[in-house]
Amino acid sequence: MHTIISSTKGGAGATVTAAALALSRAAHHGKALLIDMCGDARPALGMPDTDSPGLNDWLGEAHTTGADGLLALGEEATGQLLVIHPGARFVQGAPRWTDFTAALAGFDFPVVIDAGTHFVPDELRGAVRDTLLVTRPCYLALRRAVRAPRPSGVVLVRDEGRALTDRDVENVIGVPVVATLAVDASVARAVDAGVLATRWQELFGGLLPAS
């Protein structure tokens, strides 16, 4: 039920993919949580910036609240989707990854974590059902991907003119391509206009796994 979205290079489309997947799962299940480790999910969803505490504050080793405290950091992007932003730039002390994975285990609704190019510890990878790599069929991106922890699947963002096929990507990374998204100017316009949360179904409906 819980999914990490990662990428090996910035600009691959991980944040928009994570936001669209979270919106899809919120619609399918009635509620979902998007945890943003990178800081771009709120603006991608048309939400204003905020200086309120976020994930990194909660992860600090001096922090003591559990799952309820983590969930309280969320703000509504829609009536069904909560978003938790990174908050502080850095985590103070040793991150409480064990507490974080325990909190995730207690949520009975889907959680999508936009990790982008951030480090994801093995214990967090082990606490989710899927880790999806968002990448373009690009030699440089795939070169990095084979050196990174193996994901459970690939979301391929395809732009025109690339020689590499879906099968090539699967052969290089060793996992299936679970979705293929075309580079589409209408997606960029929706993000720029702050209307991704209302147009996601038109732009992504049926393209991403709903559960």
DSSP E strand boundaries for the chain: 3-6, 32-36, 75-76, 81-84, 111-116, 130-135, 153-158, 177-182
Q: How distant is the alpha carbon of residue 192 from its chain centre?
A: 19
What was the pLDDT predicted at 159?
Answer: 83
CA-to-CA dists, residue 172 to 121, 144, 166, 167, 199, angstroms: 23, 11, 10, 9, 33
Rounded to 5°, the CA angle 149-153-158 comes to: 110
For the four alpha carbons of 43, 47, 50 and 53, in that order, the dihedral sign comes to: negative
Residue 37 carries which DSSP code?
Answer: S
Question: Tell me, what's the pLDDT at 211?
Answer: 67
**CA triplet 58, 111, 6: central angle to 5 degrees?**
85
What is the pLDDT at residue 82?
A: 98
Which positions of the chain have pLDDT values less than 50?
none
43 vs 41: CA distance, rounded Å? 6
Q: How many CB atoms lie within 10 A of CB 40?
A: 18
pLDDT in tens, 191-204: 999 999 999 999 99
Residues 6+ apart with CB under 8 A from 90: 56
Q: Which residues of 179-210 are buried (b: 16+ CB within 10 A; e: fewer)?
A: bebeeeeebeebbeeeebbebbeebbeeebee
At the top level of CATH, the class of 3-204 is alpha beta
Residue 210 is predicted with a pLDDT of 65
Domain residue ranges of the chain, discontinuous segments joined by +: 3-204
Q: How far apart (Å, rounded) are the C-alpha atoms in residues 70 and 54? A: 8
